[in-house]
A and B are shown apart, each in its own frame.
Chain A
Amino acid sequence: MLPIISFTNVCKSINNKSILKDISFDIYENEIFGIIGSSGAGKTTLLRTMIGFYNITKGNINYKNSSITHNIKKIRKVFGFASQENCVYDKLTAMENINYFGKLHQLSNRAIKHNSEKLLKMLELYDSRDILAENLSGGMKRRLDLACALIHNPEILIMDEPTTSLDPVLRKHMINLIKLINESNTTIIISSHLLEDIEHLCSRVGIISKGKLLVAGTPAQLKNMYSRNEEILLETHPGRYNEIIGYLRAMNLPITYYTNKGHVLVIYTPQAEVVLHHILHLLEKMKEKLIDVDVNKPSLNEVFEAFTRQEKDDK
């Protein structure tokens, strides 16, 4: 399958600072592609180059084998962008905002009317259509922003941190919306640092760190690339985790690594049963009360941390 968007050795510098460094990856039609990275990694910049807001310093970004740079007006008709800042006018109503941006996308009045009604209903903003944007709630504003991004029925929807600053309920709601939008044959590119959302939403994920794309693939592929370890989450009282770790080390058990997260000890091991068995005995011996224990496959979070750590170590 041919990619709909191709990044080839894309570099971008701003004020002599290299923001994107040799990024190459593909996005396929109708997929939801996630870009994860920590704050300042270059996610927003990457997304903005896609929409033509930034001119790339080097490399090429193609949409359907045409360079975005040479077809910027067409790209903007085809791409939609939902920003994390809720790019709407506070002094316009929801409907006015949507109409305004519909006009800027050179839609006819009829198309605007049709699309806006559809979107308002879809995004549960219909009843609030005449309320000024400044008077809408955060979630509603986010949805309004999304509506403005979708008014022209884009083929590609770029969403920058769509679930940031939303409460869990709204986040779940947004995720469902995204899925709904994707079901209408819209390719979605999402950036986020909330890896749990990306993990459940995206068909493929790219990890970006300090302007570099470290890896791209499905979440399962990434997890497999990262590690075959299982994750043991241990919560005890009083929580003498350092002593536990010391004892575990002395026992020469097959522990890949561990992380003391304060109230939880996370142990990564390829033989979770063996290690768990020894841990339970140890706890009894130490008179350490077991509160909770869980065994998991590694999350995307860990994958991300692992890759970024590796990147740091490689340097």
Chain B
Amino acid sequence: MISEIYTIIEKNIKRLIRSKTSALIVVFGPIFMILLVGIAFSNSSLYGIKIGVFSDEYDKTTVSIIDYIKSTDFNVVYEKSAEDCKENVKNGKRHLCIIFPNDNNTQKKLEFHIDYSKLNLVYTLLNILTSGLSEHSSQISMGLTQDLLETLKTTSDDIKDNTDIIYMFRTDIEKLGLKLVDINESVNGINLNFDFESANLTGLEDNINRSEKDIESFGSGVTGDIELYKKKLESLEIDADALREELINNRDVIESIHINISNVYDGLGCNSTEDIFSIWDVETISNKISQASEPECAILFSMERVIKQREGSLDEAIEELDNVHDEIESAKDDLDSADNNIDSILDNTENKFLSTKVSINSMKGSINSAKAKVAEFNTLKDSLNTDISTIKMTLDSGLDDIDSLNSMLDTVVENLEDVTLATPESIIKPITTEIKPLIKNKNTLDYLFPSLIILIITFTSILLSSTVIMKEKSSNAYFRNFITPTSNLMFIYGTFLTSFIVVFCQCIILFLTASVFFKVSIFSNIFYIAIAIVPITSIFIFIGMIIGYILNSEETTTLASICISCIFILFSSMIIPIENMSSGIGAIARASPFVLSEIILRQLIIFRGSFMPVISELFFVIIYIAILFGLVVITRKLSKHFIVE
């Protein structure tokens, strides 16, 4: 089996080498390509870029911008008109046209006219120019921002200084508000709701009239009564005098009793040395009673006490009567006087009633007037209440506004302080970027190299294997291969290995050339790279073999190989980033063997990683290989029909 495969490989290689053109391309092609690419892309500068500029008036800012562009090694050409400028871009004489506005606004809006069909160049140019102009613009902005910051600082300080005024103002309003509350309460406390009817002046007047009448009748009655009383008093005086006479008589009687008793005392031996009747009072007598040695004495003493008491009572009664007499006299005088007074009072009262009536009338008038005034006052009070409420609300609202104003001012001051803390640089460029390549000390070719390798592998593998197959099919000997005991698989292996050996050799030439001449770092991770090359190359070889087996002429095979290779390149990130494609196409592109291979090689060559980070890509590559191998077997069997035809 191995010898058959070796024989087939040997035969294929001999056929390849014996074709001088093929040999040239196979051997020197990759060297030539890598030399060209290396020389061309060993740096990332742009050369020969022409930029057309136009402005009606080249002011200071415009000139500074143009000077900046010149400093980036671009060729600046001053155009005669805006139309010329754009036209030159269209016909390729200029890569870019910049039209400066002719207004004197602080903000300048530059118009960039560019041909987007040159996609790669467009992005690079715009990137360089816009970043530079952005920097230039930033410098201008720095000065403006500095002024702005200073103004803000001043404003912040002013606001802080005047915050106390607001506080005082607030306090005054609060006081006002409280005052208003008091006033409101006071006003509300005023209760002028007087029931004028309850004053009942009419009733009062009636009462006065009645009173007047009553007083008149009273006066009359009193006068009559006084007279009557006077008469009674006189009668009483007479009776009192009579009674007094009687009492005096009784007292004389009692005196005689006393003498009798005393005689009895003496008789009984109860007497003392003292004159008990004039000296002893009742209490002494009572004591004597208790002290009496003889019950008759006690009885006498008791009688004496009684008499004493009676006598005392009589004396009191006489005295009383005297008093009564005096009082009656006095009462009589008083009655007279009262009578006089009453008359006088009646007269006065009459007058007073009259004046009261007048007053009442006047009061009525006043009350009416007061009523009206009270009503008016109530109305005013309500209105006043309303106004006070309104004022209160306004004041409260004003307080809220002042609070809001205060907090807003606080916020403004805080914000201003935050802003003023910033520097113009931090405002203009709050985010600065520093681009750090993941791997240092790499030139453009280093980054391009994986894509370049894949490109070469793709084209070479597909073209070579398809050509080998097609040459085989075109050869008369192709038929004979089908009638030997050697199985189809051996031929497939042989063709595959032939292409693989050639492509692998090309890769070695590429690696050596890139490493030696352009210092591309390859060999530090050569083990992984070499292993990865195997499946990657296999995919494209199989694709080429399928193309070779399916198609029937060399021209169509070559065309198809180039087309498919171009499709792989187009739907990769080599020309346009995959991320720019629509989601569906982008997903398909990401599954392309070209893209997967590029990812694998990039990981291994640029980042010098192992297989682990790209294990999923490798897995898909192996699946591709399995599927393509099956298709190769099928298409080889079908290619028999080519011989028939």
Contacts and interface: CB of A to CB of B under 8 A. Distances in A.
A106 B4 contact: yes
Which of B19, B484, B486 counts the most chain A CB atoms within 10 A? B484
Contacts of B480: 81, 83, 87, 101, 148
A91 B484 contact: no
Contacts of B485: 73-74, 76-77, 104-106
B573 to A, nearest CB: 40
B4 A76 contact: no
A91 B18 contact: yes
Contact of B484 (A76, A90, A99): A76
A126 interface: no
Contacts of B478: 87
Contact of A88 (B14, B476, B484, B644): B476
Interface residues of B, number: 22
Interface string A122-135: 00000000001000
Contacts of B19: 91
Given A76-B483, A77-B485, A104-B4, A87 B476 contact: yes
A89 B477 contact: yes
B355 to A, nearest CB: 152
Contacts of A104: 4, 7, 481, 484-486
B7 A91 contact: no
A270 interface: no
A86 B483 contact: no
A302 interface: no
Contacts of B481: 104
A85 B4 contact: no
B377 interface: no
A52 interface: yes
Interface string B163-187: 0000000000000000000000000
B519 interface: no
Contacts of A106: 4, 485-486
A81 B18 CA distance: 27
A103 B4 CA distance: 6
B484 A83 contact: no
Interface in A72-122: 73-74, 76-77, 79, 81, 83, 85-92, 96-97, 99-101, 103-106
Nearest to A52: B483
Contacts, number: 66
Contacts of B379: none
A101 B640 CA distance: 18
B41 interface: no
Given A53-B640, A89-B475, A89-B477, A81 B11 contact: no
A51 interface: yes
Which of B7, B480, B644 counts the most chain A CB atoms within 10 A? B480
Interface string B452-485: 0000000000000000000000011111111111
A5 to B, nearest CB: 16
Nearest to B472: A89
B11 A105 contact: no
Contact of B11 (A53, A85, A89, A148): A89
A14 interface: yes
Contacts of A132: 18
Interface string B141-171: 0000000000000000000000000000000
Given A92-B11, A103-B7, A85 B476 contact: yes
Nearest to A88: B477
Contacts of A14: 644
Interface string B630-645: 0000000000100010
9 contacts: A53-B479, A79-B483, A81-B483, A87-B477, A91-B18, A104-B4, A104-B481, A104-B484, A148-B480
Interface of A: 14, 51-53, 73-74, 76-77, 79, 81, 83, 85-92, 96-97, 99-101, 103-106, 132, 148
Kindly list the 4 A-B residue pairs having the minimum CB-CB distance in the complex, ordered from nearest: A104-B484, A103-B7, A87-B480, A91-B15
Given A91-B14, A92-B14, 18 more contacts: A14-B644, A74-B485, A76-B483, A87-B477, A87-B478, A88-B476, A89-B15, A89-B475, A89-B477, A91-B15, A92-B11, A96-B11, A96-B14, A99-B7, A104-B481, A105-B484, A105-B485, A106-B486
